Structure 1
């Protein structure tokens, strides 16, 4: 599936390109450019907004092969934390935490 296909699906799910644009903070023209293949790259933050706007029906990963959605809003706000493997992420107190540790 191409970026254009994913964007078309997202617009259909939300109801229109205008509604999708409003939901993700972009113009309808920008959405149109993606659906027509004039733009092939979708910024990561916009891909996650599209995923949320579609209720998860269109995954962020469908846009340019980006990494899976962050597990928490805090990770979304901190791209550096989300890019580290889980075993290397830091706990809120600053110490390292391992995967599965609560």
Structure 2
């Protein structure tokens, strides 16, 4: 097991554990105290950044090499016309995009 990958996973889980703590604060006191809104959004942003860094680290270490070879054989050009784009990359990109848009529209509404 890779130590850096394990530490990134533990950091992600530490921030995920904080979501149930920060959400009641934002729902109960979010209108009066802006710091609780910022803590909640910083928590979500840190989860997204850590997930992205974990994905980049795993990609650089070659953890996805067998997985991608299998998917290349399984997919057809009908669903993914560009060969260099992976389905997991789409999911990862759009999940972070949803989190960033949620933070943006929550702060600036």
Task: Output the TM-score relative to the length of structure 2.
Answer: 0.26
The higher-RCO structure (CA 8 Å, 6+ apart) is: 2
Counting helix residues as a fraction of each chain, which structure ranks higher? 2
**Larger radius of gyration between Structure 1 and Structure 2:** 2
Task: Output the TM-score relative to the length of structure 1.
Answer: 0.27
